[in-house]
Structure 1
């Protein structure tokens, strides 16, 4: 009995997984390749002025996802930086709207993106606006502090100003199984945070001091980004809690509640938005690696730059110990 060609392909891919082999394959399954270039696409509008939409979706990281065939795609950090670089070269771009839907991410990646946006604004001298979607928490909120105006959808969840270092301890369970750690180290704190041993009180204080230091940096970023908010009031709510859009507005953490149309109108009303005379209908644009055109604003997603990996979904990814500006639940 002959198997269909597709069945043979599936069997070959399964065999590669089971034998932990890797064979480089150069193929395009309809999505962007590693070498694909970003190209401008027009969503709406007709005047020569442009407003660029840059999506920030998912956990903020400098790690690109592995594709199904073993390639490497841009991380959110790399993808956003690439778009900012392109925007800086286009004199017709008069503003940028960040479409943010993220629970946050690594401390360093969040801070780098914050700085990249600040430097972009300084060089380009155009406004950058944040539009929060479902979630814009922790590191995502950190990034928004670099922008000139923050709009949240009515059902957005935001806030989570804080730092977390996740970890578990399996020592007691392993002891019952007779499994012992025999790591050889140069100093008592070389394996600090290891799941194979208990944290001493001194080690706990050491890690807490790092978390506190990173939190203070986050706090200062928010304090700078929301200058109208009194520091004493900000301290009270910067305890990691999350807020609805209406709560965030009440606490002065955002500027307005609205939708995409609101973001465009508010962007054009900002003092730093310098339109060309009589340009009342700017082109709303985005950058894409694919030939497919998006029908509306809500289809513009950053997984196009960093697609979800089928391998990651099926088998998970390796975890590292990281300090995170992340809302974890």
Structure 2
């Protein structure tokens, strides 16, 4: 295979994605009509007291997600969680909250907003908030969990990945082989910082690293506040981006206990701020849109989201492809 053919395929995909990024696509209204309001779904229990489950799943961002080829979408995790907390604050029967977390993290700002919203909710409502880790609770998801009173994890959970990443590619050498040149015009030497079409200068690398370091310091301080039982020196050793199994995280003090969802509910009911009947059978509830049934906790997902029909193409042509900073664990 010639060098031209070798580089043509990936570059064709790159330029096709850039071209489509600026194209206009027809967006048809959802066939389901207006988005339904939140409905309270009872998962289990029968008493007056309630424990609210808030699912935090998938990549965390402040952008809505398309759920079909025809343009129907669901609100962003940030918007959904804020609305959920608003509903919960008005219900005096809610005695505790379980954050059901299954996420590799997400954008820096979205993770921080959700963290702050939960802290404010706790201050106003004064009820226990627990984190229940499922498969993955890494990076920005772990950041959010620092707002909770106690962290429980399933025995097979993977967590940690405390750190910041800015992802990007450089296509300059491939473009040169095809005779393609970047002719961007900028107002300053660092205006195109992070561009995939030019080589970074030492000064630009230094600038980007300073931003990464600053955002990491914020993350570190959040973890330090959320895990007061772990020394700062130990945290600096642990917060280098590494991931942990549930057993390892428990040993290092990054989580509080290991168990299954029923164990986490019972643990929450034993918290001093839980004012419900300690030996009762509270209703385990979730707020979701639509009329679908929820027969068990594992059917409680992010407002009944459906998978996107576009699959990987949604990511390829999304506006999220621009350079951003992430609290994210990604293989």
Q: Shared fold (TM-score greater than 0.5)?
A: yes
Which residue in 1 is equivalent to 2:236? 235
Q: 1:210 to 1:174 in 2, by over 3 A?
A: same
Which of structure 1's runs of 4+ aligned residues deviate more than 6 A?
none
**Once the 2 structures are TM-superposed, how far is the Cα of residue 71 of structure 1 from its aligned partner?**
2.7
Which residue in 2 is equivalent to 1:320? 322
Q: Is 1:34–1:73's contact at 8 Å kept on the other side of the alignment?
A: no
Q: How does 1:13-24 map to 2 (within 5 A)?
A: 22=26, 24=28
Q: How does 1:137-148 map to 2 (within 5 A)?
A: 137-148=138-149
CA displacement 1:37-72 (0-9 Å, x = unmatched): 111011111110000011011000011112322133
Which residue in 1 is equivalent to 2:66? 66
Matches of 2:211 and 2:24 in 1, distance apart?
38
Matches of 2:87 and 2:271 in 1, distance apart?
22
Which residue in 1 is equivalent to 2:5? none
Q: Is 1:98–1:129's contact at 8 Å kept on the other side of the alignment?
A: yes
* 2:204 corresponds to 1:203: yes
TM-score for the superposition, normalised by structure 1: 0.89
Q: 1:173 to 1:23 in 2, by over 3 A?
A: closer
Q: Is 1:60–1:104's contact at 8 Å kept on the other side of the alignment?
A: yes
Q: CA RMSD in A?
A: 1.6
TM-score for the superposition, normalised by structure 2: 0.89
CA displacement 1:219-261 (0-9 Å, x = unmatched): 0000000001000000001000000000000000000000011
**Once the 2 structures are TM-superposed, how far is the Cα of residue 169 of structure 1 from its aligned partner?**
0.6
CA displacement 1:116-145 (0-9 Å, x = unmatched): 000000011111100000000000000000
The 10-residue stretch of structure 1 (315-324 or 263-272) with the greater mean CA deviation from structure 2: 315-324
Unaligned runs of 5+ in 2: 1-22
Which residue in 1 is equivalent to 2:293? 293
Q: How does 1:269-280 map to 2 (within 5 A)?
A: 269-276=270-277, 280=280
Which residue in 2 is equivalent to 1:12? none
Structure 2 counterpart SS, 1:224:
helix
